[in-house]
Amino acid sequence: MEVLNAVSILYVIVVNIVGFLMMGIDKLKARKHRRRISERTLFVISIIGGSVGSLAGMYLFRHKTRHTKFVVGIPVILAIQIIVGVLIASRIQDYFG
């Protein structure tokens, strides 16, 4: 169980760093008029667990903050992830006592 916890924590840290960096990289590419990271990719990173990093990157880099689907979507994804995480944690706690 401890190894699973460590791997889960490492995964969340890495995917949030990736989400954060992708927002910064996409902002830099936008400024340089280069090929951008797709909005779909930015959302996928958020959905697979990088919502905190993506949200932090959005506001730190001031990127996608005028797009309603990001301003609303990323926090909604985060809220759903928190709810699901709490539910899973409570089920695990009930199961393992």
Residue-level pLDDT at 2: 84
Residue-level pLDDT at 3: 87
C-alpha span between 69 and 31 (Å, rounded) = 21
Q: How confident is the model at residue 97 (pLDDT cuts 50, 70, 90)?
A: low
pTM for this predicted structure: 0.90
Write out pLDDT tens, residues 7-34.
Answer: 999 999 999 999 999 999 999 999 999 9
Write out pLDDT tens, residues 25-70.
Answer: 999 999 999 999 999 999 999 999 999 999 999 999 999 999 999 9
Establish how many alpha carbons lie within 13 A of residue 22's alpha carbon, considering only the half-sphere containing its beta carbon: 23
C-alpha span between 55 and 42 (Å, rounded) = 11
